[in-house]
Amino acid sequence: MGKLSTVVKIAQHANEPMGCMVCGDAGVGKTTIAQALIQLFGTGESRRPGYYSHSVGSYYVRVPSPVSVGHLCSDMLRMLGDYSPDSGTVPRRTARLTRLIGEVRPYFIVLDEIQHLFREMAASKRPVVRDWLKNLVDQTAVPFVLVGNDHVREFLDEDGQSYRRFDTQIVVRTLNASIHEELEEFQKFVASYGQLINQQFCLDSEVDYKKKDFALALYSLTGGNLSAIRSAFQKALINSHLDGRLVGGNLSAVDFQGLHQDIYFSKYRVIENNPFEKRDRCIYDQIIAELEKGNAVC
């Protein structure tokens, strides 16, 4: 997150247009990171010539599937308030899009699930997509953040100029608690996320998120997958609410114990036994054993 925000800040003051790419497997938290970046930079006031004053800062665009350059261009025009986003040829729409971005001057633009733009296109037409992205970056001088899977890097690496526009590539991987040196960092993440949940829901939780045994139990349930970790907290909140405890401002370890039987976590969990009912040393030994056998998610 710190590296990504630094790249955006540098790009805003660079003489040459810059962009960056966030890539990784599904569910590792790419979209969450991009949305956190938008919240970090907030919004500012801007006025398009001849139009009303409105708030801008950064824009988030989720690329649909299937999609073409023309469809994506229309979606972005619609987002920027163009009165006829579907009219005109793709070059004319692109020209209007470039002008509007230049007038609004956002801090940056996030294009999430960008692989959809390449995936369903013949290899012979991929240069057209790369050129379209390069022209947007060059002509608007606004930083673009591309978010997608690892195949996006392959598409951009095929062209040297495209690679140069997005040469800062941040690869997001599953959080790993299995290595001794990284366990402390994983604990810090879990503690921070737990505190954030407490603040959002005004909880006075019984769960000590800073303890190693809770971090290990959560890792063995989720395999360190960020989406699975988020789902674990959400489901624990639901369990607490259904049992009538959440009203009193309380989230306990009991709410996490039942998650082991949830079929959603079957593809993530590292050990078969319920990790919230075992001592931390035993959990840690089992995780190490599974990693050595090559069975654990990491």
Question: Using one digit for the tens of pLDDT, what is the confidence trace for 161-182?
Answer: 777 778 777 777 766 654 455 6
Per-residue confidence band for 97, with pLDDT thresholds at 50, 70 and 90: very high
- Of residues 243 and 281, the one with the higher pLDDT is 243
In contact, 73 and 90? CB cutoff 8 Å: yes
Query: What pLDDT is recorded for position 51?
Result: 43
Whether the per-residue pLDDT at 131 is higher than 80: the answer is: yes
Query: What pLDDT is recorded for position 229?
Result: 86
Indicate the residue type of 281: R
Nearest to 239 by CA among 252, 225, 248: 252
Q: Which option is the CATH number for 2-172: 3.10.580.10, 3.40.630.10, 3.40.50.300, 2.30.30.790?
A: 3.40.50.300
Instruction: Centre a 10 Å sphere on the Cβ of residue 222 and count the other Cβ atoms it contains.
Output: 27
Query: What pLDDT is recorded for position 50?
Result: 46
pLDDT digits (tens, 9 = 90+) for 249-277: 677 778 888 888 888 888 888 777 788 87
Q: How far apart are CA 73 and CA 5, in angstroms?
A: 26
Query: What pLDDT is recorded for position 52?
Result: 42
Residue ranges of domains in the chain: 2-172, 180-293
Q: How far apart are CA 17 and CA 32, in angstroms?
A: 25
Q: What is the pTM of this model?
A: 0.63
Per-residue confidence band for 107, with pLDDT thresholds at 50, 70 and 90: confident
Q: How far apart are CA 155 and CA 159, in angstroms?
A: 8
Q: How far apart are CA 159 and CA 258, in angstroms?
A: 50
Whether the per-residue pLDDT at 15 is higher than 90: the answer is: no
- Of residues 202 and 14, the one with the higher pLDDT is 202
Query: What pLDDT is recorded for position 193?
Result: 82
pLDDT digits (tens, 9 = 90+) for 229-240: 888 888 888 888
Average confidence score pLDDT of the chain: 77
